Amino acid sequence: MARINRREFLKNSSAAAVFAATPGLAYSQVVGGGAPFDDYRALVCVFLFGGNDSFNMLVPRSAAEYGVYAASRQNLAIAQDELLPITTPGTGTTLYGVHPAMASLQQLFEAGSATFVTNVGPLVEPTSRDDFFNKSVALPPQLFSHNDQQDQWNSLKGDRTSKTGWAGRIADLIRSNVTDQKMATNASLFGTNLLQSAEETVAYVMGPSGPLEFTGFSTLPGEPGFEQRNAFIRILEAQYGSIYERAFAEVQQRAIAMADTVIGAIDSRPPPSTPFPQSQLGEQLRTVARLIAARDELQMQRQVFFVATGGFDSHDNQNLDQPGLLADVSESLAAFYNASVELGVSDSVTTFTQSDFGRTLTSNGDGTDHAWGGNQIVLGDAVLGGRLFGTYPELQIGGPEDVGGGRFIPSTSADQYAATLSRWFGIPDGELASVAPNLVNFAVRDLGFLA
């Protein structure tokens, strides 16, 4: 089990304690009158930090379209005969393939358990190339900036400011539906994040292998640290005169109790036998699978998990680094899907990727630079797999979607993407604008990739 120091524990465990203290807060909107859900569903966000070059992840392989791609990508193009072919009904004569390092994802796509949403990214309203250069539409601020575009994906704030994320707003909307849950709706295995920030609810933050504990403490009698833990709990249970001391003690008591509850639930179930990659992403997804396995013990009906991995800011060494990065994503996602099948929840768990932005089609000599629209993966047996959703752009420098250097204007908005996931999760159409505030500007509210 992961061990951290006291400062890190206080930072990461306080959310659990605050969650336990907030079930009665007032909020203006709830879903379905606050009635409990009659099923289990989970969303798993896999954030690829740095900006995934996803036009090398999903590539046209028919002769004409591949020729345009290869000319635009210069020394970064994947060889046509190395692309792993996928069958894409509805794309006419254009054929597609995935990066040769993503064989596991190709197999899931062909089996109908994975799909791609193409050229998606943050938008305030539909935007054309002329609109962009004439400045005749509202645009997300600070395009091509890592931090700003990560915040755009996670908050869907558009041209406004927002301290909440779209998963946090989901948790606020359903808070009265899930009052019996023993763990927060939102759980992160990659630190605090804007996606799960909310007004009324608080995400439970844990380490990549599970809840975090104080260094040197143990819950097992006879082990070093058992008496120290009990002594600390007695200190917390003492009577304090200051309201601040009492509040601090209560927060820590709840944090310890929450960690005990979650650890106990995880340990009560054998872990899935599915092997996972020995990587940062593989470890996080394995822990998510263990938490899902314990859903009955924790009385969970709805969960949103946040996991992440980095290294995708490929300004240089792209041809060397990208195969390993994409292989890890492919193998980790496949392992997690296989674990969901083993647990009998593959139709109740939907996994999806987000990333800062796509990359420029043009090469900077050894890599790519920051761009805008890109392709995302959605995975699970509720997905209408084996298809492409959205409009894949013509990969031509100076083409109708290019605003410079092969930076493509998204043809599908992140709000539409999030709204489609949210509706499947249980948010009714009338409340989707609370989750995705720019959705009102788009004619299509549901992209159709979930049953």
Using one digit for the tens of pLDDT, what is the confidence trace for 405-427?
999 999 999 999 999 999 999 99
User: pLDDT tens digit string along 362-376?
Assistant: 999 999 999 999 999
In percent, the amount of the chain with pLDDT more than 70 equals 93
pTM, rounded to two decimals: 0.91
* pLDDT score at 257: 81
Strand partners, 116: 377, 388
Looking at the chain, the number of H-run helices and the number of E-run strands are 12, 14
User: pLDDT tens digit string along 172-182?
Assistant: 999 999 999 99
DSSP 267-287: HTSPPPSS---SSHHHHHHHH
Answer for the pair 258, 20: CB distance below 8 angstroms, yes or no: yes
Answer for the pair 333, 351: CB distance below 8 angstroms, yes or no: yes
Answer for the pair 210, 15: CB distance below 8 angstroms, yes or no: no
* pLDDT score at 29: 66
For residue 251, pLDDT beyond 90: no
Mean per-residue pLDDT of the chain: 91
* Pairing mode of beta strands 349-355, 302-309: unpaired
All residues at 6 or more sequence positions from 23 whose CB lies less than 8 Å from its CB, including other chains: 175, 179
All residues at 6 or more sequence positions from 1 whose CB lies less than 8 Å from its CB, including other chains: 209, 210, 213, 263
How far, CA to CA in Å, does 237 sit from each of 216, 230, 250, 266, 440?
A: 20, 10, 8, 27, 51
User: pLDDT tens digit string along 180-222?
Assistant: 999 999 999 999 999 999 999 999 999 999 997 766 777 778 8
